[in-house]
Amino acid sequence: MRPEILNPLFRPVTSLAGVGPKIGEAMGRLLVGGDAPEPPRVADLLLHIPVGLIDRRNQPGIALSPEGAIVTLEVRIDRHMPAPRGNKRVPYRVMAHDDTGEIALVFFRAEQNFLERTMPVGETRFVSGKVEWFNGRPQMVHPDHIVDREAFEQLPMVEPVYPMTAGLARKTLGRAMRGALDSLPDLPEWQDPTLMSRERWTGFKPTLETVHAPATPAELAPEGPAISRLAYDEFLANQLALMLTRANLRRATGRARIGDGRMRRAIIAALPFTLTGSQQAAIADIERDLASDERMLRLLQGDVGSGKTMVGLMAAATVIEAGSQAVLMAPTELLARQHAKTLQPLADAAGIRMAILTGREKGRERVDILAGLDDGSIDLVVGTHAVFQAGVEFRDLALAIVDEQHRFGVHQRLALSAKGAATDILVMTATPIPRTLVLTAFGDMDVSKLPDKPAGRQPIETRTVPLERLDQVVERIRAAIAEGAKAYWVCPLVEESEEVDAAAAEDRFVDLQRALGPVVGLVHGRMKAAEKDEAMQRFQRGETRILVATTVIEVGVDVPDATIMVIEHAERFGLAQLHQLRGRVGRGSKASTCLLLYKGPLGEVAHDRLAIMRDTEDGFRIAEEDLRLRGEGELLGTRQSGAPGFKIARFEHHAHLLEIARDDARLIVEKDPALNSPRGKALQLLLYLFGRDEAIKLLRAG
């Protein structure tokens, strides 16, 4: 039950004066995104923070207006220059001047009548907007305001500028915002008073009042107290939710799994290699967690090819020795099958009864597997999300291993733990996750790292090659496969559409087959699972020697004797993705090559990315560079989504606050795990306001 004091903030925005269904819809697009089924809440509106402000006192004159500055100009209208008929790309211009110089007011897709009415030649107008200098001449594209003196005198001298969307006028938004502020009650303070005075923060309500009615641009500075406080609120809500989830998971356990080591010994004996030092250390970390009666929540971070699967198997063997069950969950069916295939011989050697469960196991087979999980005759199940589904019951699930899926959210975590009364969780990820992301996506998870790669690995030689030299690349590959090599050929990501990507891959497949014969195989996301398997297996067995693929092979695919990776249109891939793809080679003892085919001319960022790929194989360095090139916000963004996004906090400005929030949240949960103290109760409000009410439900349930 949400505290009553929040009710006014949880009404739909359409409850505000002047906000009808149409405007509510536009606000939904702006605040929630997409086709939200319901209008957003008043709280969402209040957390919509201005990006800048119009300071009408800032009237430098045309010639002295700095590039990019938002200014107000008092100008006289000189002439209208409509766009030539039929040419939509040339804008409509209105020339105007003041004592210092001349400026062009620029309008795209303009309506001439309207412009002539608002800016009659010879009249004085106050225009405000951003000045841009173009070939030494100032212009203002779509001024924010064009008013006469009388109207100007009515305007506030300082007005915030919000990110906008079509169908929502600035005035309407401003008015709704004032209504929202009026309905904002005084809330008890949830922040620590010492921190508040140190950071010069004001309370939540005064802070929002400042932010939505700033007097100076400084009040909206990201590092300033107002925005910082809200960023901190957001971080604290995130950290607190994670810590509460974690505390709850911990509490729900109470079983130690130790095992006698016989299966682990059998696995090690069956391995054709010895475990690396860091694999052994990670296994020891996990065994310690499993042996304790606290619930494990551990992240295993290891670069591509560092041998995480083996660590996972050893963890599974530990609980199976102790008479319990384990699941290994992969993000795709392809990966699940591959895991099953590599693990089967080891499981056999150790006497582990293993099964695979994906969407594809149907009918009798599925029924048998489900029965086996339920009665405990299956020890280890390897699968996809299918293992979460209703109807899958375990006799005693002790360990869930989640592979290659660092966006594994709180939701899934809860669903998983619902399957086992005291399930320990191990998340394995290849993508080196920057610390800020680990913190915001996992909270204070324990982390084991696999810094060293298995011995005998050879560096991968990476080269960039312009696409014009495709023919030479094909010849090179022809020579290499004649000597027994295997190659991946990854096709460009054309759009966010498997269909289009698949078509590109099919075309390349046909070309390469024409050039090189039947040794070319194809795998892409549009193929049926069975066809994908078949293609993978033929490549594994060496019946095909070149595998044309889309990014379905991005994660996890393991064919150790593949030594060539060609990535077509490498400039279209992100760094993390290139790194993942490249990690498909260099897994055996033979030297490998990665050819990044690019189409010039390269933009600066694309150029830098390819240069970094050429420079280093170090996944952590690549992740850092990626962050630098893209900004952390985008890493949290939708493409790799699932992670909690932040509306106000910006890592580039507020990363230090995240650390404080982490410590703060930890102390809060230690001292007051049920959030019952006065501060705890106030913090519940914070969790509601920032949409972290899951955590509160968990509290109530626990």
Return residues touching ligand ADP (CB under 6 A).
273, 275-276, 279, 302, 304-310, 430, 454, 556, 558, 560, 587
Residue 503: CB partners within 8 Å, gap ≥ 6? none
Q: How far is the CB of 313 from ligand ADP (least distance, A)?
A: 9
Residue number of the CB closest to Mg ion reads 556
Q: Of the two residues 70 and 282, which places its CB atom closer to ligand ADP in the complex? A: 282
Q: How far is the CB of 264 from ligand ADP (least distance, A)?
A: 14
133 makes contact, choosing from ligand ADP, Mg ion, none, with CB < 5 to 8 Å by partner type, with none
Q: Of the two residues 372 and 556, which places its CB atom closer to Mg ion in the complex? A: 556
587 makes contact, choosing from Mg ion, ligand ADP, none, with CB < 5 to 8 Å by partner type, with ligand ADP
Q: Of the two residues 492 and 556, which places its CB atom closer to Mg ion in the complex? A: 556
547 makes contact, choosing from Mg ion, ligand ADP, none, with CB < 5 to 8 Å by partner type, with none
- Report the relative pairing of strands 397-403 and 460-466 from DSSP bridges: unpaired
Q: Of the two residues 454 and 556, which places its CB atom closer to Mg ion in the complex? A: 556
CA distance 479 to 487: 12
Residue 577: CB partners within 8 Å, gap ≥ 6? 551, 554
Q: Of the two residues 218 and 269, which places its CB atom closer to ligand ADP in the complex? A: 269
Q: How far is the CB of 584 from Mg ion (least distance, A)?
A: 11
Compute how many residues bind Mg ion; rule: CB under 5 A.
Answer: 1
3-state secondary structure (DSSP) of residue 486: strand
553 makes contact, choosing from ligand ADP, Mg ion, none, with CB < 5 to 8 Å by partner type, with none
Q: How far is the CB of 525 from ligand ADP (least distance, A)?
A: 20
Angle in degrees, CA 338, 340, 342, rounded to 5: 70
Q: How far is the CB of 312 from Mg ion (least distance, A)?
A: 8
Print burial letters for 226-262: b (CB count within 10 Å at least 16), e (below 16). Answer: bbbbbbbbbbbbbbbbbbbbbbbbeeebebebebeee
Q: How far is the CB of 563 from ligand ADP (least distance, A)?
A: 13
Give me the helices (H) in 292-385, please. Answer: 308-321, 333-350, 363-375
Sheet holding 546-549, edge to edge: 460-466, 592-598, 562-567, 486-490, 546-549, 520-523
Q: Of the two residues 276 and 324, which places its CB atom closer to Mg ion in the complex? A: 276
CA distance 573 to 595: 14
Q: How far is the CB of 276 from ligand ADP (least distance, A)?
A: 5
Q: Of the two residues 129 and 302, which places its CB atom closer to ligand ADP in the complex? A: 302
Ramachandran category for residue 691: left, alpha or beta (phi over 0 → left; psi -120 to 50 → alpha): left
Restricting to residues 391-430, name those near Mg ion by CB under 5 A. Answer: none
Q: Of the two residues 238 and 309, which places its CB atom closer to Mg ion in the complex? A: 309
- Report the relative pairing of strands 124-134 and 145-147 from DSSP bridges: antiparallel
Q: Taking the alpha carbons of 646, 650, 654, 655 in that order, is the dihedral positive or negative? A: positive
454 makes contact, choosing from ligand ADP, Mg ion, none, with CB < 5 to 8 Å by partner type, with ligand ADP
Q: How far is the CB of 583 from ligand ADP (least distance, A)?
A: 6
279 makes contact, choosing from ligand ADP, Mg ion, none, with CB < 5 to 8 Å by partner type, with ligand ADP
Residue 305 near Mg ion by CB under 5 A? no
Q: Which residues pair with 137 in a beta bridge?
A: 134
Q: How far is the CB of 642 from ligand ADP (least distance, A)?
A: 20
Q: Is the CB of residue 259 less than 8 Å from the CB of residue 318?
A: yes
Task: List the structure tokens of 519.
Answer: 């040794």
Restricting to residues 546-565, name those near Mg ion by CB under 5 A. Answer: 556
Task: List the structure tokens of 264.
Answer: 């682990």
Residue 501: CB partners within 8 Å, gap ≥ 6? 491, 492, 493, 494, 495, 524, 525, 550, 551
* List of residues contacting Mg ion (CB under 5 A): 556
